[in-house]
Amino acid sequence: MTNERQAWRGLARVLASRRLEGPVAEGGDSGGRVYHHLTLLAPEVAAAAVPGQFVHVLCPPRGGAGGAPYAPASATPGLPFLRRPLSVHDADQARGTVGLLFWVKGPGTAGLAAARPGDRLDVVGPLGNGGFPLGLGPALVVGGGIGLAPLLFLARRLARRGRVTVLAGVAQAGDLALVEPFRRLKDLAGLIVTTEDGSPGTVPGTVVAALPESLDGLSPDGLSGAVYACGPGPMLRAVWDQVSARPGLTAWFSVEERLACGVGACRGCAIPVRTGPAGETASPPDPGRAPDYRLVCRDGPVFDGNLLDWEAL
Amino acid sequence: MNSGTLLPGPDLSVTVAGLRLRTPVMTASGAFGYGREYAGLLDLSGLGAIVVKGTSLEPWSGNPPPRTVETAAGLLNSIGLENPGVECFLENDLPWLSGLGVPIIVNVVGRTAAEYAALARRLDGAPGVSALEANISCPNVKEGGLAFGADPAVAGDLVTGMRRATRLPLIVKLTPNITDVAALARRVVEAGADAVSLINTLVGMAIDPEAGRPILARGTGGLSGPAVKPVALAMVYRVAAAVTVPVIGMGGIWTGRDAVEFLMAGASAVAVGTALFVDPEAPLRIAREIGDFMAGQGYGKVGEMVGLANTGFCGRRPESWADRPDQEGR
Ligand SMILES: Cc1cc2nc3c(=O)[nH]c(=O)nc-3n(C[C@H](O)[C@H](O)[C@H](O)COP(=O)(O)OP(=O)(O)OC[C@H]3O[C@@H](n4cnc5c(N)ncnc54)[C@H](O)[C@@H]3O)c2cc1C
Ligand SMILES: Cc1cc2nc3c(=O)[nH]c(=O)nc-3n(C[C@H](O)[C@H](O)[C@H](O)COP(=O)(O)O)c2cc1C
Ligand code: FES
């Protein structure tokens, strides 16, 4: 299970930094969430990264140039302290660029969002296991909210190989900017967008509600193909409930846990899995046995749905 | 062994508990895994020593998540000593580690004093193991760890048992979660410790105000990082004035100057933990910065700085071994 691939660590130049604008005017209902996109020049990362992997970014302290708009009114000094994991949103090997898409949540992402073109960011990556396994059969990519971040790179790679449908859900009109890059993807078999506020041109509701139809359409019998999902915990669980009820489908999930080292050294990012001592899936797990864990940073962040211990997650 | 210590400039080599360290900067247990995790991110052969993750007789699965929380200039962890067990270490990690030409120190943990002694016996004579560090100070496990390290008498008995079981240099890692760390240090040295290391993490907590409960699954965790440095430094100072064996200092070391503070408080070597998470090259950078500081201030050898700021320092200053580079380190 040792990750023998080597990650790169260095300073990546910021080529572009932009706040995502949804179709709703400034001041519209964006649910208070601000999203940001960075383009970094990091040829080593761009060349090595596969969909599902992440980079570990040292975030500049807030208060830097342009930091004000995102800085919370009162803030604890000494934060951000650790690096922040962000998925590879997109990678362009020819240009040597890596795109990051993130929700401006707290001090780390606020500092990142303040980065300006020409700034240099200390980056380690790509990290994580081999990412989402790319099959040849029909694929359904399911993302909720900022969980869409790692899925653009995935959908792009999958579309080169076969039939890919994307099911993308966001809460409200203000979040639709997260979906925009998927609209520009060529060769998608389909793009279904859901919004909980029923924005025009979208399917009202959640991806979970829209999933049965998408699964039916995945293959003629609705029983073969691969599902790839990233999003909030309850969404992933609901996706797994539906997928696991259809034998023949495989499903891969990108999950999150708080990271410290990001390289498998500190054992800080454990998530519960269902395995026997030799690593084989033992389902249901023996309740008397000590829990088994895998490391999100080293063994994930992408896991086979069969491996995850959904009761304990 | 081609040695950076032969280059002109300050001599960073030190001998600590019989171990020949190329620089006084080692990795702290638990922050560096078994070393291989960082391969490619730094040149491991430039480290003073590698201290591996706390290792037990059988595999331990560790605590439920979440296991870490970032705090102001610090990190709370509640890993619970997840590790694959000593046999896995001996088979999979030690052969690779021992090829690096750097002393390998095995941090050991057990549920009982007998387990600590059994680990000492198992590792005694294992080719490539340079020393043991008894972790009797982990705040994140119910049994073992701090349960032994908070009571000098219990800690002393545990160390006596280990001492009988091994000829390897024995380092005992002390907890800061105690009133009189000097008394504890004296007791473990009487019982046969060749060196003491400190500090392990300080018990701490973070609460999620929205959820209305502690963030870490176990409630409390151990605090590390720059936030603990002043506390660690004061404890190293006290212990270096209480025992004559070498002290290995750690707790929040980030820069060469931080490390020099620990040396001047009386540490013969230092260890770097949390800084690795932010800067994987931290131990090498810190060693370089110590060298720069020495060059700037006119120090020729690390030993000249050890205990300098400590009026009660009662240890021996570590010797350099660069004068005899032909002899391999242990
Ligand atoms: C492998 C991986 C990939 C990720 N990819 C993306 C992405 O592409 N886009 C994106 O917006 N977010 C992503 N996240 C979540 C992102 O790391 C957090 O939103 C971010 O760290 C928040 O930092 P902050 O200081 O802004 O917020 P705070 O909430 O103040 O952060 C406090 C601490 O909690 C940690 N933390 C907070 N939220 C999360 C979370 N959801 N997962 C893990 N740690 C968290 C932070 O790293 C930090 O240590 C990813 C997480 C992981 C584990
Ligand atoms: C994630 C993590 C895991 C740790 N695991 C161990 C361990 O297994 N054994 C041990 O003796 N100390 C362990 N420690 C304590 C460190 O070795 C060190 O004593 C402490 O973190 C202070 O140093 P620092 O501030 O440089 O990290 C751990 C610390 C951290 C942060
Ligand atoms: S974050 Fe350290 S092991 Fe995953």
A69-125 pLDDT tens trace: 555 557 788 899 999 999 999 999 999 999 999 999 999 999 999 999 999 999 999
**Is there a contact between A265 and B61 if contact means CB atoms under 8 Å apart?**
no
Q: How far apart are CA B91 and CA A77, in angstroms?
A: 45
B276 neighbourhood in chain A, CB within 8 Å = 261, 265
Could you tell me the residue ranges of all domains in chain B? 14-62+82-203+225-327
Supply the residue whose CA is at minimum distance from atom 5 of ligand 2. Answer: B30
Q: How far apart are CA B56 and CA B18, in angstroms?
A: 24
Which residues are CB-neighbours of B303 under 8 A, at least 6 positions away? Answer: B14, B268, B317, B318, B319, B320
Residue among B299, B232, B300 at smallest CA distance from B265: B232
Residue among B246, B245, B273 at smallest CA distance from B21: B246
B69 neighbourhood in chain A, CB within 8 Å = 258
- Tell which CATH architecture fits domain B14-62+82-203+225-327: Alpha-Beta Barrel (3.20)
pLDDT value at position A77? 85
* Three-state DSSP class for residue A293: strand
Catalytic residue among B109, B138, B248, B267: B138
Residue among A38, A20, A36, A69 at smallest CA distance from A174: A20
Q: Which residue's structure tokens are 């590790």? A: B83
Q: How far apart are CA A273 and CA B276, in angstroms?
A: 28
Supply the residue whose CA is at minimum distance from atom 15 of ligand 2. Answer: B200
**Is there a contact between A80 and B227 if contact means CB atoms under 8 Å apart?**
no
Ligand positioned closest to the Cα atom of B31 = 2
Within 10 A of B327 (CB to CB), how many other CB atoms are there?
A: 9
Token pair for residue A184? 């520009």
Q: Clarify whether B138 is annotated catalytic.
A: yes
Tens digits of pLDDT across chain A (313 residues): 344 557 999 999 999 999 997 555 444 455 568 999 999 999 999 999 999 999 999 999 865 444 455 555 577 888 999 999 999 999 999 999 999 999 999 999 999 999 999 999 999 999 999 899 998 789 999 999 999 999 999 999 999 988 999 999 999 998 999 999 999 998 999 999 999 999 988 999 999 999 999 998 888 776 779 999 999 999 999 999 999 998 889 999 999 999 999 999 999 999 999 875 444 443 444 444 557 999 999 999 999 999 999 988 8
